[in-house]
Protein backbone atom coordinates (compact mmCIF):
# COMPACT_ATOMS: atom_id res chain seq x y z
CA UNK A 1 0.00 0.00 0.00
CA UNK A 2 2.94 2.35 0.65
CA UNK A 3 5.80 2.46 -1.81
CA UNK A 4 8.86 4.65 -1.36
CA UNK A 5 10.92 4.99 -4.54
CA UNK A 6 14.39 6.57 -4.57
CA UNK A 7 13.38 9.35 -2.25
CA UNK A 8 15.99 12.08 -1.74
CA UNK A 9 15.89 15.19 0.34
CA UNK A 10 18.52 17.95 0.36
CA UNK A 11 18.82 20.91 2.62
CA UNK A 12 20.96 24.00 2.38
CA UNK A 13 22.38 26.17 -0.40
CA UNK A 14 24.40 25.29 -3.50
CA UNK A 15 27.79 25.22 -1.81
CA UNK A 16 26.68 23.54 1.34
CA UNK A 17 24.24 20.72 0.68
CA UNK A 18 23.16 18.36 3.43
CA UNK A 19 21.61 15.13 2.27
CA UNK A 20 18.92 14.23 4.75
CA UNK A 21 17.57 11.35 2.69
CA UNK A 22 19.66 9.51 0.15
CA UNK A 23 17.86 7.31 -2.38
CA UNK A 24 15.55 5.59 0.07
CA UNK A 25 13.33 2.84 -1.30
CA UNK A 26 11.07 0.35 0.48
CA UNK A 27 7.52 -0.91 0.50
CA UNK A 28 4.95 -1.37 3.23
CA UNK A 29 2.15 -3.90 2.89
CA UNK A 30 -1.36 -3.32 4.14
CA UNK A 31 -1.68 -4.39 7.78
CA UNK A 32 2.05 -4.18 8.45
CA UNK A 33 3.58 -2.69 11.60
CA UNK A 34 6.90 -1.24 10.55
CA UNK A 35 9.45 0.64 12.63
CA UNK A 36 12.11 2.98 11.28
CA UNK A 37 15.14 3.33 13.53
CA UNK A 38 18.12 5.59 13.46
CA UNK A 39 20.13 8.05 15.50
CA UNK A 40 19.09 11.66 15.75
CA UNK A 41 19.96 13.30 12.44
CA UNK A 42 19.71 10.04 10.53
CA UNK A 43 16.74 11.38 8.55
CA UNK A 44 13.96 9.28 10.03
CA UNK A 45 11.71 12.20 10.93
CA UNK A 46 12.39 13.80 7.54
CA UNK A 47 11.26 10.57 5.91
CA UNK A 48 8.13 10.47 8.05
CA UNK A 49 7.35 14.10 7.20
CA UNK A 50 7.75 13.38 3.49
CA UNK A 51 5.31 10.46 3.74
CA UNK A 52 3.02 12.66 5.81
CA UNK A 53 3.06 15.30 3.01
CA UNK A 54 4.17 17.88 5.58
CA UNK A 55 7.52 18.02 3.77
CA UNK A 56 8.27 17.43 0.09
CA UNK A 57 11.12 15.20 -1.14
CA UNK A 58 13.71 16.72 -3.48
CA UNK A 59 13.51 13.68 -5.72
CA UNK A 60 11.82 10.29 -5.91
CA UNK A 61 8.23 9.10 -5.52
CA UNK A 62 6.01 8.09 -2.66
CA UNK A 63 2.90 6.07 -3.50
CA UNK A 64 0.11 5.58 -0.99
CA UNK A 65 -2.80 3.41 -2.13
CA UNK A 66 -1.56 3.88 -5.67
CA UNK A 67 -1.48 7.67 -5.49
CA UNK A 68 1.83 9.45 -5.95
CA UNK A 69 1.76 11.86 -3.03
CA UNK A 70 4.59 13.98 -4.48
CA UNK A 71 2.32 14.85 -7.41
CA UNK A 72 -0.75 15.87 -5.40
CA UNK A 73 -1.64 19.52 -6.04
CA UNK A 74 -0.98 21.70 -2.97
CA UNK A 75 -4.66 22.56 -2.60
CA UNK A 76 -5.54 18.85 -2.40
CA UNK A 77 -2.88 17.90 0.12
CA UNK A 78 -4.97 18.79 3.17
CA UNK A 79 -7.79 16.58 1.97
CA UNK A 80 -5.37 13.73 1.27
CA UNK A 81 -3.88 14.01 4.74
CA UNK A 82 -7.16 14.07 6.60
CA UNK A 83 -8.61 11.13 4.64
CA UNK A 84 -5.61 8.85 4.41
CA UNK A 85 -3.26 9.57 7.27
CA UNK A 86 -3.39 9.43 11.02
CA UNK A 87 -0.71 11.00 13.19
CA UNK A 88 0.68 10.17 16.61
CA UNK A 89 3.39 12.48 17.94
CA UNK A 90 5.83 12.21 20.81
CA UNK A 91 4.20 15.08 22.69
CA UNK A 92 0.64 13.85 22.03
CA UNK A 93 -0.44 17.06 20.25
CA UNK A 94 -3.84 16.97 21.85
CA UNK A 95 -5.62 20.31 22.03
CA UNK A 96 -5.76 21.09 25.72
CA UNK A 97 -8.94 23.14 25.44
CA UNK A 98 -10.82 20.07 24.18
CA UNK A 99 -11.87 16.99 26.13
CA UNK A 100 -10.46 13.60 25.12
CA UNK A 101 -13.71 12.80 23.33
CA UNK A 102 -13.63 16.08 21.47
CA UNK A 103 -9.99 15.60 20.53
CA UNK A 104 -10.81 12.28 18.93
CA UNK A 105 -13.94 13.73 17.34
CA UNK A 106 -11.85 16.50 15.82
CA UNK A 107 -10.52 14.11 13.17
CA UNK A 108 -14.12 13.40 12.18
CA UNK A 109 -15.37 17.01 12.20
CA UNK A 110 -12.45 17.99 9.98
CA UNK A 111 -13.62 15.28 7.60
CA UNK A 112 -17.17 16.68 7.73
CA UNK A 113 -18.60 13.46 9.12
CA UNK A 114 -22.30 13.69 9.99
CA UNK A 115 -22.52 15.17 13.50
CA UNK A 116 -25.01 12.51 14.60
CA UNK A 117 -22.58 9.66 13.91
CA UNK A 118 -19.56 11.24 15.55
CA UNK A 119 -20.23 10.36 19.18
CA UNK A 120 -20.89 6.72 18.40
CA UNK A 121 -17.71 6.32 16.35
CA UNK A 122 -15.60 8.02 18.99
CA UNK A 123 -16.97 5.70 21.66
CA UNK A 124 -16.28 2.62 19.55
CA UNK A 125 -12.63 3.51 19.04
CA UNK A 126 -12.24 4.59 22.65
CA UNK A 127 -13.51 1.22 23.76
CA UNK A 128 -11.01 -0.56 21.50
CA UNK A 129 -8.20 1.47 23.05
CA UNK A 130 -9.47 1.27 26.62
CA UNK A 131 -9.99 4.96 27.23
CA UNK A 132 -13.79 5.18 27.30
CA UNK A 133 -13.80 6.19 30.97
CA UNK A 134 -11.64 9.27 30.42
CA UNK A 135 -13.56 10.59 27.41
CA UNK A 136 -15.04 13.50 29.33
CA UNK A 137 -11.76 14.56 30.87
CA UNK A 138 -9.37 17.17 29.60
CA UNK A 139 -5.85 16.17 28.51
CA UNK A 140 -4.34 17.67 31.66
CA UNK A 141 -6.55 15.44 33.79
CA UNK A 142 -5.31 12.13 32.34
CA UNK A 143 -1.98 10.26 32.30
CA UNK A 144 0.59 10.40 29.49
CA UNK A 145 -0.30 6.87 28.43
CA UNK A 146 -3.98 7.73 28.19
CA UNK A 147 -3.14 10.86 26.22
CA UNK A 148 -1.14 8.85 23.73
CA UNK A 149 -3.90 6.30 23.40
CA UNK A 150 -6.29 9.16 22.74
CA UNK A 151 -3.90 10.36 20.06
CA UNK A 152 -3.93 6.87 18.54
CA UNK A 153 -7.71 6.84 18.67
CA UNK A 154 -7.75 10.16 16.85
CA UNK A 155 -5.35 8.77 14.24
CA UNK A 156 -7.56 5.78 13.44
CA UNK A 157 -11.13 6.96 14.13
CA UNK A 158 -11.73 7.98 10.53
CA UNK A 159 -10.36 4.62 9.32
CA UNK A 160 -7.29 6.29 7.84
CA UNK A 161 -5.13 4.06 5.63
CA UNK A 162 -1.87 4.64 7.44
CA UNK A 163 -1.03 5.50 11.03
CA UNK A 164 2.19 7.48 11.27
CA UNK A 165 3.78 7.53 14.71
CA UNK A 166 6.76 9.72 15.54
CA UNK A 167 8.48 8.52 18.75
CA UNK A 168 5.12 7.72 20.35
CA UNK A 169 6.71 6.50 23.58
CA UNK A 170 9.21 9.36 23.83
CA UNK A 171 7.35 11.12 26.61
CA UNK A 172 6.10 8.06 28.48
CA UNK A 173 7.40 6.06 31.40
CA UNK A 174 8.34 2.44 30.78
CA UNK A 175 5.05 1.00 32.03
CA UNK A 176 2.92 3.33 29.92
CA UNK A 177 5.23 2.71 26.96
CA UNK A 178 4.70 -1.00 27.27
CA UNK A 179 0.92 -0.66 27.48
CA UNK A 180 0.84 1.65 24.49
CA UNK A 181 3.05 -0.55 22.35
CA UNK A 182 1.06 -3.65 23.24
CA UNK A 183 -2.07 -1.80 22.29
CA UNK A 184 -0.58 -0.67 19.00
CA UNK A 185 0.52 -4.19 18.18
CA UNK A 186 -2.94 -5.38 19.15
CA UNK A 187 -4.87 -2.99 16.90
CA UNK A 188 -2.43 -3.78 14.14
CA UNK A 189 -3.23 -7.42 14.51
CA UNK A 190 -6.95 -7.21 15.25
CA UNK A 191 -8.18 -4.27 13.22
CA UNK A 192 -5.53 -4.46 10.56
CA UNK A 193 -4.32 -0.91 11.05
CA UNK A 194 -1.14 -0.25 9.05
CA UNK A 195 1.40 1.46 11.28
CA UNK A 196 4.65 3.19 10.39
CA UNK A 197 6.53 4.15 13.53
CA UNK A 198 9.70 6.19 13.80
CA UNK A 199 11.76 5.58 16.93
CA UNK A 200 15.28 5.45 18.28
CA UNK A 201 14.25 3.11 21.04
CA UNK A 202 15.03 -0.58 20.41
CA UNK A 203 12.41 -1.71 22.89
CA UNK A 204 9.67 0.13 21.01
CA UNK A 205 10.90 -1.12 17.67
CA UNK A 206 10.78 -4.71 18.90
CA UNK A 207 6.97 -4.55 18.84
CA UNK A 208 7.00 -3.99 15.08
CA UNK A 209 6.98 -6.77 12.50
CA UNK A 210 9.82 -5.26 10.54
CA UNK A 211 12.50 -2.70 11.41
CA UNK A 212 14.32 -0.48 8.93
CA UNK A 213 17.57 1.18 10.02
CA UNK A 214 18.58 4.57 8.71
CA UNK A 215 22.06 6.02 8.95
CA UNK A 216 23.01 9.40 7.56
CA UNK A 217 20.01 9.43 5.33
CA UNK A 218 20.57 5.98 3.83
CA UNK A 219 18.84 2.71 4.39
CA UNK A 220 21.38 0.71 6.35
CA UNK A 221 19.71 -2.53 7.27
CA UNK A 222 16.39 -4.31 7.59
CA UNK A 223 15.22 -6.83 10.20
CA UNK A 224 12.18 -9.10 10.07
CA UNK A 225 10.59 -10.45 13.18
CA UNK A 226 8.85 -13.37 11.58
CA UNK A 227 7.91 -15.94 14.18
CA UNK A 228 10.64 -15.26 16.72
CA UNK A 229 9.56 -14.02 20.16
CA UNK A 230 9.75 -10.30 20.86
CA UNK A 231 12.64 -10.69 23.30
CA UNK A 232 14.82 -12.33 20.66
CA UNK A 233 13.86 -9.72 18.12
CA UNK A 234 14.80 -7.03 20.64
CA UNK A 235 18.28 -8.46 21.01
CA UNK A 236 18.65 -8.74 17.26
CA UNK A 237 17.78 -5.06 16.97
CA UNK A 238 20.34 -4.22 19.65
CA UNK A 239 22.98 -6.09 17.69
CA UNK A 240 22.29 -4.05 14.59
CA UNK A 241 22.41 -0.89 16.66
CA UNK A 242 25.80 -1.91 17.99
CA UNK A 243 26.94 -2.30 14.41
CA UNK A 244 25.50 1.11 13.57
CA UNK A 245 27.55 2.53 16.42
CA UNK A 246 27.54 6.20 17.23
CA UNK A 247 25.13 7.77 19.54
CA UNK A 248 22.52 5.06 19.44
CA UNK A 249 24.76 2.74 21.47
CA UNK A 250 23.67 4.48 24.66
CA UNK A 251 20.02 3.72 24.05
CA UNK A 252 18.62 1.09 26.36
Nearest approach in angstroms of CB 133 to another protein is 17
According to the binding rule CB under 8 A, does residue 144 interact with another protein?
A: no
Residue among 17, 67, 115, 191 that touches another protein (CB under 8 A): 115
According to the binding rule CB under 8 A, does residue 83 interact with another protein?
A: yes
Euclidean distance between CA atoms 30 and 34, whole angstroms: 11
Applying CB under 8 A, the span of 57-65, 90-98, 197-205, 210-218 interacting with another protein comes to 90-98
Nearest approach in angstroms of CB 227 to another protein is 36
Euclidean distance between CA atoms 151 and 167, whole angstroms: 13
Nearest approach in angstroms of CB 184 to another protein is 19
Inter-CA distances, 249 with 90, 174, 200, 242, Å: 21, 19, 10, 6
Q: Which is nearer to another protein, 118 or 240 (CB)?
A: 118
According to the binding rule CB under 8 A, does residue 108 interact with another protein?
A: yes
According to the binding rule CB under 8 A, does residue 95 interact with another protein?
A: yes
Q: Minimal CA–CA distance to 3: which of 29, 21, 23?
A: 29
According to the binding rule CB under 8 A, does residue 82 interact with another protein?
A: yes
Residue among 52, 129, 162, 193 that touches another protein (CB under 8 A): 52
Nearest approach in angstroms of CB 229 to another protein is 36
Euclidean distance between CA atoms 37 and 222, whole angstroms: 10
Residues that bind another protein (rule: CB under 8 A) add up to a total of 30
Q: With beta carbons less than 8 A apart as the criterion, state whether 240 and 223 touch.
A: yes
63: exposed, middle or buried (Cβ count in 10 Å: 0-12, 13-18, 19+): middle
Q: With beta carbons less than 8 A apart as the criterion, state whether 211 and 248 touch.
A: no
According to the binding rule CB under 8 A, does residue 80 interact with another protein?
A: yes
Q: With beta carbons less than 8 A apart as the criterion, state whether 122 and 108 touch.
A: yes
Euclidean distance between CA atoms 65 and 185, whole angstroms: 22
Binding site residues, another protein, CB under 8 A: 52, 54, 74, 77-83, 85, 87, 93, 95-98, 102, 105-110, 115-116, 118-119, 138, 140
Amino acid sequence: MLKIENVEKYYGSKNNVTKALDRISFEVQRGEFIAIMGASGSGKTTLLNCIATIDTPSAGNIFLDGVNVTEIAPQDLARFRREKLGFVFQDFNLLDTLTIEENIALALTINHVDAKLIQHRVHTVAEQLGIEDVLNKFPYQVSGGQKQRAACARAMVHKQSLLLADEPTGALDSKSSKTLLEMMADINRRIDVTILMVTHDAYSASYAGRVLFLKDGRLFNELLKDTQPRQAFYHEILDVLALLGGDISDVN
